[in-house]
Structure 1
Amino acid sequence: MENTLIDKTFRDSDGNIVIAQMPNLPLIVWVVTSLLALVFTNGQINTVLEVVANGSLFTWAWMELFQGVNYFRRTLGFVVLIALIASKVM
C-alpha cells in the first residue's frame, strides 16, 4: 500500500482510519470542569474550575499536537491550542 497524503492524514500506524477516539483523561477533565463551571458561576470555585478546564484542554491539545496518531489529529490539536491561546489573549 502506498503512503499517500490522504493515508498519512487519516490513517494510524495500523492502517485504520482515525478521526475520533475515546476521550483521554485531559479531555474528560475538561468536559467535567467546564460543565461544573456552568453550575458554579461565580466565586473562587468558578475560577479554579476555569483554570483546571483550560489547563486540561491545553494539555490535551499539546498531546494531540505532538503524539497524535495521524496528521488530522495533530492538526486538530494545533487548531485547538491556537484557539485556546487566542481566546485568552483577546
Structure 2
Amino acid sequence: MQNTLVDKTFRDTEGNIVIAQMPNLPLVVWIVTSLLSLIFTSGKINTLLDLVAYGSLFTWAWLELFQGVNYFRRALGLAALVSLIVFKIQY
C-alpha cells in the first residue's frame, strides 16, 4: 500500500477507510446528557447536565485530536475543540 496523503487522511493503520466509528464513552455521555438537558430545562440539574455534556464533548474532541486513527478524525477533533472554545467564549 502506498503512503499517499489520501491514505494518511482516510485510512487507519490496518488500511481500512475510517470516516465514522461507533461512539466511544465520552460521545455517548455527551449524547445522553444533551438529551436529558432538553427534558430538565432549568435548575441545578440542567446546569450540571450542561457541564457534563460540555466536558464529555471536550474530552472526545481532545482524544480525537491526539489519538484519532487518521488525519480526518484528528481534523474532526480539532474542529470540534475549536468550535467548543469559540462557542463558550461567545456565550
Scaled by the length of structure 1, the TM-score of the pair is 0.99
- CA distance in structure 1 between the aligned counterparts of 2:60 and 2:42, rounded to whole angstroms: 26
The runs of 4+ residues in structure 1 deviating greater than 3 Å are none
What is the alpha-carbon distance in structure 2 between the residues aligned to residue 16 and residue 61 of structure 1? 22
Unmatched tracts of structure 2, length 5 or more: none
Would you say how many aligned residue pairs link Structure 1 and Structure 2? 90
User: How far has the Cα of 1:2 moved from its partner?
Assistant: 1.1
Calculate the aligned-residue CA RMSD, in Å: 0.3
In 2, the alpha carbon distance for the partners of 1:54 and 1:73 equals: 19
Give ranges in structure 1 of 5+ residues lacking alignment.
none
Give the aligned partner of residue 58 of structure 1. Answer: 58
Identity of aligned residues (%): 72
Residue in structure 2 matched with residue 87 of structure 1 by the alignment = 87
CA displacement at 1:53 relative to structure 2: 0.1
Is 1:67 aligned with 2:32? no
1-side partners of 2:6 and 2:49: how far apart?
Answer: 39
